[in-house]
Structure 1
Amino acid sequence: MSLPDFPLAFYPVAILAILLAGISKGGFGGAAGGLAVPLMSILIAPPEAAGIMLPILCAMDIFSVYAYRGQWSRHHLRVLLPGSIIGVALGGVAFGMLSVNLIRLLLGLISVIYTLNKWLRLSERISQRLAMRERAPGPVTGAVCGLLSGFTSTLAHSGGPPFAVYIYSQKLDKTLIVATSAVFFCVGNYLKLIPYYLVGQLNTGNLATSLVFAPLAPLGVWLGVWLHKRVSAEAFFGVSYTLLFISGVKLIYDALV
């Protein structure tokens, strides 16, 4: 397998992006893991960036699920996963039918919206309001959140905010939330292998690139564990979401201009 003819600048950007994704998963709950694809998409086509990242994320997920084995909520997974499956399928259809430029625009919009969501704490506020109700949000809300998470995760490997709206409204223990999140996104990532293969994103060139970058997956997770007690979450997310916002704006500009 030979590597694709990517710009030379792509490789240091990809190294930074993959390490940040691993650090996020290993030390800060994975909330900024969706930064990798937008960053890489500044230099290569978004479908290629997503195709390169998916096998790496699948490898990271094995470590996450093992770390929290048996501690997840089966009930909430049963609520969320059917919608996620539909969202993954719709995301695969989007990759297959939309032009690269339109996907670039969607990716940029998702990146900017998710950054504003973080800065303005929108999903956090929504989940808090839902949690204040006498009855916690039920299967319908969970299915919708699962669908939105699956769709945006398929396009950008970033489905955190819709998932957070539902799961944080359930008043669950922190460990239960993290463990359920690990399984939810692990299942989603492995499901994404099907549409990615069907639309040609898991071609030999992308897989060869994933293989080259694969050692960064455990290194990034280990760095996250090491940084967990040394760097505040606010500082890490401040840098990550600033990069995500800049990447999103650049992608929107490139798509429109």
Structure 2
Amino acid sequence: MIPDYPPLFWVTAITAVIFLGIAKAGFGGGIGVIATPLMALTISVTDAAAILLPLLIITDIFALRHYWGVYDRASIRLMLPGAVVGVAVGALVFGYFADNERALQISLGVLSLAFVAYQATRSMLLGALAQSRPPASAGVALGAAAGFTSTLAHAGGPPATIYLLPQQLPRAVFVGTSVLFFAAVNLFKLAPYGYLGLLRVGNLTTIALLAPLTYVGVRLGIFLNKRFTDRWFNRFVYTLLLLTGIQLILGENLIGIVVRELKLGG
């Protein structure tokens, strides 16, 4: 049985899942960060996160097949223990605010704006960090940060990139390390999501309907990667993420706010 979600849910869900697939294929950098905030515009934050987790694991399987055995063992050994701690802390936060949807929306909105700010300063930040390799303690700490943000919003890319990029790994090894790390993190998240009751049987039909789109997104990402630059695509996605983050914080439709202000002004 399909849950009684609003019609707009399917628009946001289909868009979010395709973006996830495109990102896993290596096109558009970290555009997958938009998936949870976008879906949270039409359903609860907890439902959005719970529906996306199995879909992320499916995309991980596609990506792991391509990058199997291609990863940096030293980075994985440092980051994964921290990620376990980050997932645990993220689960505690989720559990504490589970009954406070506005707090979760505001938190997700703030995270969205933080990711937009990161993207805007990414080149300068990573350029400065690339001057020297971060210490082992940074790998553990940034692994924890990635686990935390991934648990709340399936968006652990920025902390992981901040640690991995200065390692000056070959591109395939960099991508393969990221793929393996987040595949493990997503599996770690299953236990706390299940314990908190986020993984509901009622969402299985929705997940099954959306699952084929993960493959569509991956294939589309491969196609785009071969033929186009991701510059303008990134700008579009992060502009959408900016607007989504603002809307989550305000708790009101931005178009509705504009219309109301125009009426008051008139």
Which one has the largest radius of gyration?
A: 2
CA contact (8 A) 2:3 2:203 kept: yes
Counterpart pick for 2:239 among 219, 238, 242: 242
Mapped partners of 1:173, 1:203: distance in 2: 40
Aligned partner of 1:22 in structure 2 is: 21
CA contact (8 A) 1:29 1:178 kept: no
Mapped partners of 1:244, 1:4: distance in 2: 26
Mapped partners of 2:28, 2:14: distance in 1: 20
Mapped partners of 1:209, 1:4: distance in 2: 7
Aligned partner of 2:197 in structure 1 is: 200
Q: Give the SS at the match of 1:215.
A: helix
Q: CA deviation at 1:138?
A: 1.8
Mapped partners of 2:101, 2:193: distance in 1: 15
After superposition, residues 52-201 of structure 1 pair within 5 angstroms as 52-98=51-97, 99-121=100-122, 124-133=123-132, 136-201=133-198
CA contact (8 A) 2:146 2:155 kept: yes
TM-score by length of 2: 0.90
Q: Give the SS at the match of 1:228.
A: helix
Aligned partner of 1:13 in structure 2 is: 12
Mapped partners of 1:209, 1:201: distance in 2: 14
Aligned partner of 2:2 in structure 1 is: 3
Q: Percent sequence identity over matched residues? A: 40
CA contact (8 A) 1:127 1:166 kept: no
CA contact (8 A) 2:16 2:39 kept: yes
* Deviant stretches of 4+, over 4 Å: none
Q: CA deviation digits over 1:102-134, x for unaligned, max 9?
A: 11111100011101110222xx4333323313x
Mapped partners of 1:120, 1:139: distance in 2: 24
Structure 2 runs not aligned, ≥5 long:
258-266
Mapped partners of 1:16, 1:127: distance in 2: 29
CA contact (8 A) 2:109 2:244 kept: yes
- Residues 91-100 or 74-83, more deviating: 91-100
Q: CA deviation at 1:249?
A: 0.6
CA contact (8 A) 2:28 2:230 kept: no
Q: Give the SS at the match of 2:48.
A: helix
Which residue identity is paired with 2:112? S
CA contact (8 A) 1:21 1:30 kept: no
Mapped partners of 1:36, 1:209: distance in 2: 15
CA contact (8 A) 1:27 1:224 kept: yes
Note closer, same or farther for the CA distance 1:192–1:49 as it changes in structure 2 (3 Å cut). same
Please give the root-mean-square deviation of Cα atoms over the aligned residues, in Å: 1.5
Mapped partners of 2:185, 2:193: distance in 1: 12
- Residues 142-151 or 222-231, more deviating: 222-231
Mapped partners of 2:139, 2:124: distance in 1: 17
CA contact (8 A) 2:57 2:186 kept: yes
TM-score by length of 1: 0.93
Q: CA deviation at 1:30?
A: 5.1
CA contact (8 A) 1:27 1:226 kept: no
Q: CA deviation digits over 1:72-119, x for unaligned, max 9?
A: 011110011111111111111111111221111111000111011102
CA contact (8 A) 1:38 1:247 kept: yes
Count how many residue pairs are aligned between Structure 1 and Structure 2: 251
CA contact (8 A) 1:84 1:148 kept: yes
